[in-house]
Structure 1
Amino acid sequence: MSQVAVNKLDLFHLAWPILIEQLTGGVVVMADIYFLSLLGEEAAATAGLLMPYLLIGFFVLPMLSSGGTAAASQYYGAGKLDKVQPVFITNIVLLGVAGFAFSAFTLANFDNIALWLNFPEAMQVYAEQYLAIIGFCFGFHGLRCAYGSILAAKAMTQWNMLVSLLTNVLNIFLNATLFFGWFGLPRMGLPGIALSTVLSFVFAWLMVMAIVRFKAGVRLEFSRAMLPQMRAVLRPLLKISVPSAAEPANYTLQQIVVAGILASLGVLAVSSYTFVLRLLFVSMAVSASLAAAGQIIMSHHMGARNLDTVDATYMRCIRLAMSFAFINMLLFAWFYQPLIGIFSQDPQVQFYAKWLLIICIVMEPFRAINIVAGMALKAVGDGRFSASVGIVFIWGVVPVIYLCSISWQLGVIGAWACFALDEVLRGIINHWRWKTYKWHSMGIS
């Protein structure tokens, strides 16, 4: 890797653009829910209940692409530059196939998904209208993530941030334009919000592809001659990509099941659950940005076998992520009324949200450990362990959630306490695994 890029392997230099990218993405989600709330509580609650399904694309695809970032970074660190471009191309193919496959599934089943998720009848119409349009975006999002991973591996995270900022501004502008019927356009309501997202993702893909070619100077050669080199890097790439995607994929599927359970608790309980999830994006974004930046640094140093630097980077990320999550949730719990008031003035919604945020004071620091430790273990080639632990706990907690929320009638607060217990136990186990240092003998180079 060039000396310029090596000098950019600084945690804050890499993390702050990723953080801005994460935060602006969260702001857009909040804006979408705001526009939907103008149609009524049921429309906003529908978006919240659909979010676990949509996260299969919006969350799992970026995590899958991170395997390309980590693999290419390790090859950069090891000086094996001939393997870098095959990783980039293989990652683009992998993300494109995965993204368009999910788009095809969504479009083929848009009128059944709400039924599978046990939506109340009043919400099913909203869900069908939204999914019939939003389903088109996942293939383009997969390609955008794959090209973005190239910039991340080259320590050019500021360009991913720029793309995210412009995309999000465009999305909000299109939301308002199509929702309110600006510039003489017809008022499109919910379909307009979904269409805005699709157009924004197409724009993001085209823009990041242009940056990779003209700013990063990466000329990708999609040719038959490249196939043997792609096959050579496929297994090392999948060694990181599959565990990286397996845990979030199972998490989002779990959230779909949980959404079906919580749907029977009523609109107000579901609304409070949805609104608190939207507030958590701040601490989650900080943890994810530190984890992603740390993953780039750790992957480079893992390739160069600078193991002490890898461990020091991990510990620094853990301390920063946990500290921010704890302080952030203290403030959110204290000022819950004006924060939840942005979405709803209903006293029952605010009551539920207050207790969910209090539980978050414990839950979010351990979630920070999970995010950082999980990505770190995947970066150094020990992703199978964290993914296995995650899958066991993710599904093991579901029957407990049902008991607490339905059988024992603790409602959404009982379900949230189960989420907290899950995060605490997984955080402890993943951190213990890192401290065994078994990853010293791993890696792909």
Structure 2
Amino acid sequence: MSATINKKTSLFILTWPIFIELVLQMLVNNVDQLMISRVSEDSVAAIGNVNQIMSVLLITFSVVTMATTILVAQYLGSNNQRRVSEVYSVAVFSNLIFSIVIGLILFLFNDAIFTLIKLPDELLSDAKIYMNIIGGGVFLQGIFMTYSAIFRSNGFMKQGMYISAIVNILNIIGNLVLLNGYLGLPKLGIAGVAISSVVSRLIGVIIIIYIFKKKIKGHVSLKYLFPFPRDIFKRLMRIGVPAGGEAISYNASQMVILTFVNTMGITVITARSYISIITWFSYLYASAVSQANQIRVGYLIGANEEDEAYKKVLETLKPANIITLIVAILVFIFSNQLLGVFTSNPEILKLGKAVLFIDIVLEVGRTFNLVLIRGMQAAGDIKYPIFVGISSMWAIATLFSYIFGVLFGWGLQGVWIAMMADECIRAVIFHLRWKSGKWRSRKMI
């Protein structure tokens, strides 16, 4: 059983459940920082560093999930149900194994990781506590992301949204209980918010597996792994690894940039954590609409309607940029109020306003990149954005973050100027690439 997606399905119908799900995922990822900010700003900075590390490692899961979406859609189209179940099983167990390995790396090498990113000693204790607990439950994120990809490939866009809402509500309740010592429990501080996140995700995994069994035709079972379907695994890697390359490069460069920020003092580190949360609002819509448009473009490319795909990407750019620009400007105007949710520190409020002014231009460039890159991926033009992305992210964003932020002494503003330049330069390059039509005739099926 699967829902119906075709070229007549409106972009709005595809976008809104993805948008809501992203909002809820953002809250799950950042509500810990919001709620712990009432207890300790050092804990906020510690969580911000751990989340940046996690975002790099979680790219491993997205490699599998991205490829799963593509392969499942192909096999559903050919009505090859056994192959569909093989893809489900290989994807789920692959991400389970990857997540166990990641959890062990986080537990065994957290000291080396924190030394590598130059985490200040004042943050080390909180960061280790949070890392160990969240890392221990990282396998839950791997499983959830895989099942969510299966749902989307079957046309069930809303289920992930509903489950994310449940997980978010449970996480907030858990944080309230464990931070305040309700129900006779001790006040656990940063350990409490980490435990709450893991438990809420566990419940989310249980729910999504239950709905999978009720709603989706196909099975996740060890019987599909003996003998191991190597061809399925190879196809997942062949599609997923190149497609995830751009994201891997971005997050790796952000890790290096984080090491520069970590030399600028606790106030700057904390400010960056808050600003990173707030800027989510600026590009949430662009992220959702680009994912929705990727589904639509993929269908058009599969139907050999490249001219229509060309138009749809360009048509998506205009409203996406208008909405992003409006939101980014509003975020700047009301930066004191937004940052005031977390802190009353005047230094952070002043720095945040200056950075969020620069971020207005950055978000426009980011919107172009989100829409155009996902359009090129859907068309099968995967290697070009990886090449450009790696070149620009490291030669511009990373290098000039060091030059502007550290050597010139511009601090966090210098870092944001470098990242803005990277996004805008890539936006111009990818726009020219799309208009040139060099992405045509590269579909993967």
Give the deviation of 1:57 after TM superposition: 4.0
The 1:443–1:233 alpha-carbon spacing in structure 2 relative to 1, beyond 3 Å, is farther
Whether the aligned pair in 2 keeps the contact of 1:77 and 1:302 (CA below 8 Å) is no
Q: Does 1:203 align with 2:193?
A: no
Change over 3 Å in CA distance of 1:419–1:388 after alignment to 2: same
Report the CA distance between 1:211 and its aligned residue: 1.4
Whether 2:380 is the aligned partner of 1:381: answer: yes
**What CA deviation, in whole Å up to 9, does each residue of 1:160-186 have, x standing for no partner?**
111111111111111111111111112
Q: Which residue of 2 aligns with 1:390?
A: 389
Q: Which residue of 2 aligns with 1:219?
A: 219
What's the CA shift for 1:87?
Answer: 3.1
Secondary structure class of the residue paired with 1:409: coil
Letter in 1 for 2:16: W
Take 1:308 and 1:293, find their aligned partners in 2: how far apart are those partners? 18
Residue 21 of structure 1 aligns with which residue?
A: 21
| CA shift in 2, pair 1:303/1:329, >3 Å | same
Counterpart of 2:345 in structure 1 is 346
| 2:335 maps to amino acid | Y
2:417 aligned with 1:413: no
Letter in 2 for 1:399: L
Q: Which amino acid aligns with 1:295?
A: Q
Match of 1:167 in 2: 167
Return closer, same or farther for 1:279/1:268 CA change in 2, 3 Å cut-off. same
1:279 maps to 278
Aligned-residue offset at 1:244: 2.9
Once the two structures are overlaid, the 10-residue window that deviates more, 435-444 or 217-226, is 217-226
Q: Which amino acid aligns with 2:142?
A: G
Matched, 1:260 2:232: no
Distance 1:81 1:173 in 2: 41
Q: CA contact under 8 A between 1:76 and 1:303: conserved in structure 2?
A: no
Change (3 A) 1:16 1:238: same
Which residue number corresponds to residue 158 of structure 2? 158
Residue equivalent to 2:113: 113
> Which amino acid in 2 is paired with 1:328?
V
Q: What is the RMSD computed on CA atoms of the aligned residues?
A: 2.3
Q: Give the aligned residue type for 2:153.
A: A
Distance 1:312 1:73 in 2: 23
Residue deviations 1:291-349 (CA, integer Å, cap 9, x gap) = 22122222233223232333233223322321211111111111111111111222221
Q: State the aligned residue count.
A: 444
The aligned counterpart of 1:367 is 366
Does structure 2 conserve the Cα–Cα contact (< 8 Å) formed by 1:46 and 1:127?
yes
Partner of 1:431: 431
More off after superposition, 336-345 vs 73-82: 73-82
Residue 441 of structure 1 aligns to a residue whose secondary structure is coil
Counterpart code for 1:172 = I
Cα distance in 1 for residues equivalent to 2:121 and 2:225: 54
Matched, 1:40 2:40: yes
Match of 2:439, SS? helix
Shift of 1:263: 1.3
The change in CA–CA distance for 1:60 and 1:286 in structure 2 (over 3 A counts) is farther
The one-letter code of the counterpart of 1:166 is I
SS in 1 for 2:271: helix
Separation of aligned partners in 2, 1:311 and 1:28? 35
Aligned residue identity for 2:379: V
Take 2:216 and 2:406, find their aligned partners in 1: how far apart are those partners? 53
Deviation of 1:272 after TM superposition, in Å, equals: 2.0
Q: Distance in 2 between matches of 1:123 and 1:336?
A: 26
Alignment correspondent of 2:300: 301
Q: For 1:191 and 1:68, how far apart are their aligned partners in 2? A: 34
By how many angstroms is 1:84 displaced?
A: 3.7
Q: Would the aligned equivalents of 2:282 and 2:331 in 1 still touch at CA under 8 Å?
A: no
For residue 385 of structure 1, what is the amino acid of its counterpart?
Y
Give % identity: 25
Aligned to 2:52: 52
Contact 1:74 1:301 in 2 (8 A): no
Unaligned runs of 5+ in 2: none
Q: Contact 2:3–2:155 (CA<8 Å) still a contact in 1? A: no
Q: Distance in 2 between matches of 1:153 and 1:342?
A: 38
* Aligned-residue offset at 1:28: 3.0
Secondary structure at the aligned position of 1:265 is classed as coil
Q: 1:8 to 1:381 in 2, by over 3 A?
A: same
1:443 counterpart SS class: coil
TM-score of the aligned structures, taking structure 1 as reference length = 0.92
User: Contact 2:89–2:224 (CA<8 Å) still a contact in 1?
Assistant: no
Q: Is contact 2:400–2:418 with CA below 8 Å preserved after alignment?
A: yes
Closer, same or farther in 2 for the Cα pair 1:341/1:440, shift >3 Å?
Answer: same
Shift of 1:138: 1.8
- In the superposition, the TM-score normalised over structure 2's length comes to 0.92
Structure 2 counterpart of 1:362, which letter? Answer: V
Distance 1:84 1:10, change over 3 A: farther
Separation in 1, partners of 2:263, 2:133: 27
1:170 partner amino acid = L
Name the residue aligned to 2:238: 239
Alpha carbons 1:69, 1:296 under 8 Å: kept: no
- Shifted more, 312-321 versus 159-168: the winner is 312-321
C-alpha deviation, 1:125, in angstroms = 0.8
Identify if the C-alpha distance between structure 1 residues 232 and 115 changes in structure 2 by more than 3 Å, giving closer, same or farther. closer
Aligned-partner Cα distance in 2 for 1:165–1:134: 20
More deviation, 59-68/115-124: 59-68
Query: What secondary structure sits across from 1:89 in the alignment?
Result: helix
Distance 2:319 2:7 in 1: 22
Q: Which residue of 2 aligns with 1:356?
A: 355
Distance of 2:55 and 2:192 partners within structure 1: 20
